[in-house]
């Protein structure tokens, strides 16, 4: 395959305005060739980054920022899989299986408990998340849970067994004057 410089020389030599061997004209063509090579390289990167299945850097970042923060701590393949899951959610995906796919697309580690007879669902995050991550996850979960389902989202909170292991009286717990939400979201 010819380089840009070789192609310029090949196509311009029949025109007759560029003399082979002229230093000044050679420098001009070399400058054009260098910049055209750079543009071709940038175009190649843009084409690669435009599609999730081939994106590696800036493309993945741009797609991820449509939904939330960039996932720099994960492999390229995991990032692609989560984006494809998220982008393939459709109007009929608000079933338990669709909700699981959406939660998987967030990178959330969770357990999902359904109570269909009373129209309720509980999503329990089973890994520690920072406060900003929790806020982002809460916003995203609120977007995907159908409006007719009441749901609760908790983050790696204490189990009843862990509460019992604290060996505290009800009065001691009550004196903390916590709301039910604060109690539900308490961690060790």
Shortest CA distance to 51 belongs to which of 40, 62, 41? 62
pLDDT tens-digit map of 107-165: 888 989 999 888 899 998 888 888 888 888 898 888 888 888 899 888 866 667 777 78
Contact status, residue 41 vs residue 35, Cβ threshold 8 Å: no
Band of residue 188 on the pLDDT scale cut at 50, 70, 90 = low
Strands of the sheet with 110-115, listed across from one edge: 110-115, 120-125, 150-155
Q: Is 147 helix (H, G, I), strand (E, B) or coil?
A: coil
**Is 184 a residue whose pLDDT tops 80?**
no
pLDDT tens-digit map of 8-66: 878 877 777 766 667 777 788 889 889 999 999 999 999 999 999 999 989 999 998 88
Q: Model pTM?
A: 0.58
* Per-residue confidence (pLDDT) for residue 156, from 0 to 100: 66
Q: Is 137 helix (H, G, I), strand (E, B) or coil?
A: helix
Which two tokens mark 84? 């494809």
């Amino acid at each position: 395959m010819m380089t840009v410089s070789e192609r310029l020389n090949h196509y311009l030599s029949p025109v007759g305005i560029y003399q082979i061997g002229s230093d000044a004209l050679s420098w001009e063509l070399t400058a054009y060739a260098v910049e055209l090579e750079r543009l071709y390289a940038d175009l190649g990167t843009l084409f690669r980054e435009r599609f999730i299945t081939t994106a590696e850097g800036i493309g993945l970042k741009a797609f991820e920022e449509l939904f939330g923060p960039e996932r720099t701590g994960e492999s390229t393949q995991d990032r692609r899989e989560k984006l494809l899951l998220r982008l393939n959610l459709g109007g009929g995906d608000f079933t338990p299986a669709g909700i699981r796919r959406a939660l998987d697309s967030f990178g959330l580690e969770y357990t999902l408990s359904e109570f269909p007879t009373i129209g309720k669902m509980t999503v329990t995050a089973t890994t520690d998340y920072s406060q900003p991550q929790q806020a982002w996850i809460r916003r995203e979960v609120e977007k995907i849970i159908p409006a007719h389902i009441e749901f609760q989202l908790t983050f790696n909170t204490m189990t009843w067994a862990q509460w019992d292991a604290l060996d505290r009286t009800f009065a001691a717990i009550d004196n903390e004057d916590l709301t039910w939400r604060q109690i539900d979201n308490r961690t060790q």
